[in-house]
């Protein structure tokens, strides 16, 4: 791979620069994987384009890969940024009252910084600092919030949204990480041209609500039904919402226009299926069955062979991009200035 060969000396020089600044070999490790020789590793981490730079913390792969400039300075700066403290220390509890409530805030109150409780909190913050803003307070400053010991709370977006308290063990990394991730990563996330590739790399199909930007009512209904019907499917499919105006090209490909929004669709990366009628969203079990039909292969089967003889098709399958779609489909998609359009050829990322 010519691009891998071009990056190799840059990557190696960046590792030498960082080694000078962080001589402890356990602080930062640079590694290379030949994916021809180690295809099992490439498959495990869904690597399909080269070169790819992934960041791992405490053995966990971060969902955001490095997409910055491929230069020694840029890569070294990225590592320095990753090594910076993701937690802002509060000097006065009055600072908490002026937090940006449009953000998701996690606040830890600890008796002392040199403690197992805080070290666990720090590990979690290092992984999730792109999704939440983390704060900490210690000693006398935090005493008023430590009436029953060290404490971690979540302040959700919204001025009047009530706080949520973590009730598990503060030294159990798995428990506090799962709790914090649940609070920091919304069940239904917005997909944009900036994060589309990142979401694709998670390897899960998409359940997408296309809605107009100011149509918050449809978004709220979708969020409620996803939480009500599909919470058990978290981890098997990504729940997303997209701006109809920005994603006109995918809408055209499924024979829709912004005036048709709100529209719900599944992108399986092989086909795209449309939920029959948005007004059916609140029908008990309807949305869940749509997703279950994806997992069972029913949507795929009906795509190729038509509706099952005894069933009405739960979704309308749209042109398979892995086959040979009409030229007009690509003509409609081609003018987009963005490389990512939600719809890809089978082997393209």
| Residue ranges of domains in the chain | 2-83, 87-184, 189-342
The whole-number pLDDT of residue 341 equals: 40
Output the average pLDDT for the chain: 85
Question: What average pLDDT does range 70-99 have in this prediction?
Answer: 92
Is 249:341 a contact under the CB 8 Å cutoff? yes
Who wins on pLDDT, 316 or 181? 181
Single pTM value for the model:
0.67
The whole-number pLDDT of residue 109 equals: 96
Question: What average pLDDT does range 126-147 have in this prediction?
Answer: 92
Name the percent of the chain lying above pLDDT 70: 88
The verdict on domain 189-342 having CATH code 3.40.30.10 is yes
Question: What average pLDDT does range 242-246 have in this prediction?
Answer: 93
Q: Which pair of structure tokens corresponds to residue 158?
A: 């919204």
The whole-number pLDDT of residue 263 equals: 95
Predicted confidence (pLDDT) at residue 196 exceeds the cutoff of 90 = no
The reply to whether 189-342 shares the fold of 2-83 is yes
Handedness of CA 56, 57, 63, 67 (dihedral sign): negative
- The DSSP code sequence of 88-120 is EEPSSTHHHHT--TTS-EEEEEES-SSSHHHHH
DSSP code of residue 237: B
Class of domain 2-83: alpha beta
Who wins on pLDDT, 348 or 139? 139
Give the homologous superfamily in CATH for domain 87-184.
Glutaredoxin (3.40.30.10)
Handedness of CA 155, 160, 165, 166 (dihedral sign): negative
């Amino acid at each position: 791979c010519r691009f891998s060969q071009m990056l190799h000396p840059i990557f190696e020089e960046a590792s030498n620069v960082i080694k000078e600044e962080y001589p402890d070999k356990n602080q930062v490790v640079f590694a290379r994987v030949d994916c021809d020789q180690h295809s099992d590793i490439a498959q495990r981490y869904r690597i399909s384009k080269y070169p790819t730079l992934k960041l791992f913390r405490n053995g966990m792969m971060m969902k955001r890969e490095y997409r910055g400039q491929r230069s020694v300075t840029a890569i070294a700066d990225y590592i320095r940024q990753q090594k910076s403290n993701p937690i802002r220390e509060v000097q006065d509890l009055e600072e908490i009252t002026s937090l940006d409530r449009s953000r998701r805030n996690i606040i830890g109150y600890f008796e002392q910084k040199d403690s197992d409780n805080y070290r666990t909190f720090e590990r979690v913050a290092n992984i999730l600092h792109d999704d939440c803003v983390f704060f900490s307070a210690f000693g006398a400053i935090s005493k008023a919030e430590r009436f029953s010991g060290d404490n971690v709370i979540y302040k959700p977006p919204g001025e009047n949204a009530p706080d949520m308290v973590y009730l598990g063990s503060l030294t159990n990394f798995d428990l506090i990480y799962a709790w914090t991730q649940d609070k920091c990563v919304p069940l239904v996330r917005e997909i944009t041209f900036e994060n589309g590739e990142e979401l694709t790399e998670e390897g899960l199909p998409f359940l997408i609500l296309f809605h107009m930007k100011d149509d918050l009512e449809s978004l709220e209904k979708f969020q409620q039904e996803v939480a009500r019907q599909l919470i058990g499917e978290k981890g098997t499919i990504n729940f997303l919402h997209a701006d109809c105006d920005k994603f006109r090209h995918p809408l055209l490909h499924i024979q829709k226009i912004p005036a048709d929004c709100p529209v719900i669709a599944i992108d399986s990366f092989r086909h795209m299926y449309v939920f029959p009628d948005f007004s059916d969203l609140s029908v008990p079990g309807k949305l869940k069955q749509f997703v279950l039909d994806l997992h069972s292969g029913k949507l795929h089967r009906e795509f190729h062979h038509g509706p099952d003889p005894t069933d009405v098709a739960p979704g309308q399958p749209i042109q398979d991009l892995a086959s040979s779609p009409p030229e007009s489909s690509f003509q409609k998609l081609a003018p987009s200035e963005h490389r990512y359009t939600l719809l890809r050829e089978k082997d393209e990322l």
